[in-house]
Amino acid sequence: MPRKPDWDALGKLFAPSNEAAPSALDADTVTYLGETMPKWLARDLMQERAAIYEFEAGMTREAAETKARHSLAK
């Protein structure tokens, strides 16, 4: 028999907080693919792009990460 959800815990998890979401103005920013964005977002996009190169193009992980990293310089 499935466990019953803990509605109080879920309510606390999804309750609005007073903390502001990180923004490009608050964090260190970089230019990636012609757009200025927080470093954490550029890192996530680079990792995703590297995974696509690795899977779709059959590149090694090192080559895919290098190619994605070079996109940061553009």
CA distance 52 to 72: 16
* Tens of pLDDT, residues 12-25: 666 776 665 555 45
CA–CA dist 1, 52 (Å, integer): 40
pLDDT at 54: 92
Q: What is the pTM of this model?
A: 0.55
Amino acid at 32: Y
Which parts of 1-74 fold into alpha helices (H)?
7-13, 39-56, 61-73
* Better-scored residue on pLDDT, 67 or 74: 67
Q: Specify whether the CB–CB gap between 62 and 72 falls below 8 A.
A: no
Sequence ranges of the domains in the chain: 28-74
